[in-house]
Amino acid sequence: MKTIKASLLFFVFLAALLIGCKENKKENQPENDMVKTESAKSHIEKSAFGETPDGQKVDKYTLTNTKGMEIDVITYGGIITRWTAPDKNGNYEDVVLGFNDLDSYFGGVPYFGALIGRYGNRIAKGQFSIDGETYTLAKNDGQNHLHGGQKGFDKVVWAAEAESTDDGASLVLTYTSADGEEGYPGKLDVKVTYTLTGDNELDIQYEAVTDKPTVVNLTQHSYFNLSGDFSKDILDNEVMLNASAYLPVDAGLIPTGEIRSVEGTPFDFTEPKAVGEEINADNEQIKRGGGYDHCWVLNGTDKNFGLAASAYHPESGRLLEVYTDEPAIQFYTGNFLDGSLSSKTGGVYGKRSGLCLETQHYPDSPNQEAFPTTRLNPGETYSSHTSFKFSTK
């Protein structure tokens, strides 16, 4: 009996010692120590990326697959800061606009690589009503509300968990947006899962739940430059949009409510067409956007995951395909970039040096009843699925 008791005590002691050691190890770990998660087919490395002005730590996760694609995601804004893709000779180069350091992301950056929410795109006059109650949001784009407000999901620090399996390297980002944050009703729990597959595809799954009726429209705001050379513009990229119609806008880029056929207009991208071919056309809508900055109504992708868009850079052979289950896509050609931001490679980001393909619901849906609803009720789960797939041809 005594020996059993003694050995039991010994084991308890041993266990306590082990737990103690483990905790110590955690505490003593240098803050910027690389942490690796890996499987045979993918891996993720975590490292420190800096601090926000209010002292929150920001990490960088590098997702890698066996083909050699690398994607850097930081916990600030869920921003993709670097994304390498192969050209036709197998050379991997960075194809997204962004910065090498965290500080460059503070202030005046047009949403490079960021997660956008609670409402991606514009809400007219920063106002909408739900069940008779009016909610007022920031007017951060002229008279209108844009991309979630002054401090949207692109400017908050997300919690992150990394997992590597044979299906790919996944980074799960979560954020709780408080009831009333940026004027939106309801506490919203958001989860975004980035998965880099072995097939050079970044799969993005968005989910959210609320405790009060609210509106949600999440998207990803990467600016692609498929040439891998940020000093070049994207006008020679051949873009296809699987859309027979688009949403004309007013002077403040709010949809007028009309759903207009693209046929015979510069907005027809049903067959691949160089971005520059009609970008300066004498067309009222082109003038309003300063180029393309419109939402296209996708053919049949609503709730039915399918090809929404592609962009092809003939010289490098890089082809990007975008798949989604969203009903629309904002195609923005970087018209407001003006060379005032320094690029990762020492130059500047000039006008139209990147293009965005933002899968989403229609802009201003909370105020336009004829548009598919963006309302989320308690008990429902918002879900949106998009993937960006790279190949060459």
Return the active site residues.
Answer: 221, 358
How many residues appear in the chain? 393
DSSP assignment of 198-256? TTSEEEEEEEEEESS-EE-B-EEEPPB-TTS-TTS-STT-EEEE--SEEE-B-TTS-B-
Q: Which is nearer to ligand BGC, 44 or 215 (CB)?
A: 215
Kindly state whether residue 332 participates in binding ligand BGC, applying the rule CB under 6 A: yes
Starting at the earlier edge strand, list the strands of the sheet with 293-297.
260-261, 245-247, 293-297, 328-332, 356-360
Q: Residue 53 corresponds to which tokens in the numbers above?
A: 């002005």
Q: Which is nearer to ligand BGC, 11 or 336 (CB)?
A: 336
Footprint (CB under 6 A) of ligand BGC, residues 216-275: 253
Q: Residue 182 corresponds to which tokens in the numbers above?
A: 């940026």
How many residues of this chain interact with ligand BGC, rule: CB under 6 A?
9
Contact 207, 111 (CB under 8 A): no
The binding track of 11-30 with respect to ligand BGC, each residue x by CB under 6 A or -, is --------------------
CB of 110 to ligand BGC, least distance (A): 4
CB of 199 to ligand BGC, least distance (A): 27
How far is it, in rounded angstroms, from Cα 259 to Cα 261? Answer: 7
Residue nearest to ligand BGC as judged by C-beta position: 110
CB of 286 to ligand BGC, least distance (A): 14
CB of 17 to ligand BGC, least distance (A): 55
How far is it, in rounded angstroms, from Cα 118 to Cα 137? Answer: 11
Contact 142, 185 (CB under 8 A): no
Place of tokens 């308690």: 378
CB of 336 to ligand BGC, least distance (A): 5
CB of 152 to ligand BGC, least distance (A): 11
Which one of residues 177, 330, 368, 384 is an interface residue with ligand BGC (CB under 6 A)? Answer: 330
Residues 6+ apart with CB under 8 A from 200: 65, 67, 69, 85, 86, 389, 390, 391
Which one of residues 49, 83, 99, 111 is an interface residue with ligand BGC (CB under 6 A)? Answer: 111
Kindly state whether residue 336 participates in binding ligand BGC, applying the rule CB under 6 A: yes
Q: Which is nearer to ligand BGC, 69 or 357 (CB)?
A: 357
How far is it, in rounded angstroms, from Cα 24 to Cα 99? Answer: 35
Which residue stretch of 192-200, 276-284, 329-337, 382-390 sits at the interface with ligand BGC (rule: CB under 6 A)?
329-337
Q: Which is nearer to ligand BGC, 113 or 186 (CB)?
A: 113
How far is it, in rounded angstroms, from Cα 142 to Cα 312? Answer: 34
Which residue stretch of 100-108, 153-161, 169-177, 330-338 sits at the interface with ligand BGC (rule: CB under 6 A)?
330-338
CB of 381 to ligand BGC, least distance (A): 25
How far is it, in rounded angstroms, from Cα 386 to Cα 195? Answer: 11
Which one of residues 293, 321, 326, 364 is an interface residue with ligand BGC (CB under 6 A)? Answer: 293
Place of tokens 């989320």: 376
SS3 381: coil
Q: Which is nearer to ligand BGC, 43 or 294 (CB)?
A: 294
Which residue stretch of 54-62, 224-232, 278-286, 328-336 sits at the interface with ligand BGC (rule: CB under 6 A)?
328-336
Contact 95, 226 (CB under 8 A): yes
CB of 384 to ligand BGC, least distance (A): 16
Q: Nearest-CA neighbor of 168 among 45, 40, 75? A: 40
Q: Which is nearer to ligand BGC, 170 or 343 (CB)?
A: 343
How far is it, in rounded angstroms, from Cα 262 to Cα 248? Answer: 10
* Cα 229–Cα 104–Cα 294 angle in degrees, nearest 5: 65
Q: Which is nearer to ligand BGC, 190 or 356 (CB)?
A: 356
Q: Which is nearer to ligand BGC, 200 or 237 (CB)?
A: 237
Contact residues toward ligand BGC (CB under 6 A) are: 110-111, 253, 293, 330, 332, 336, 356, 358
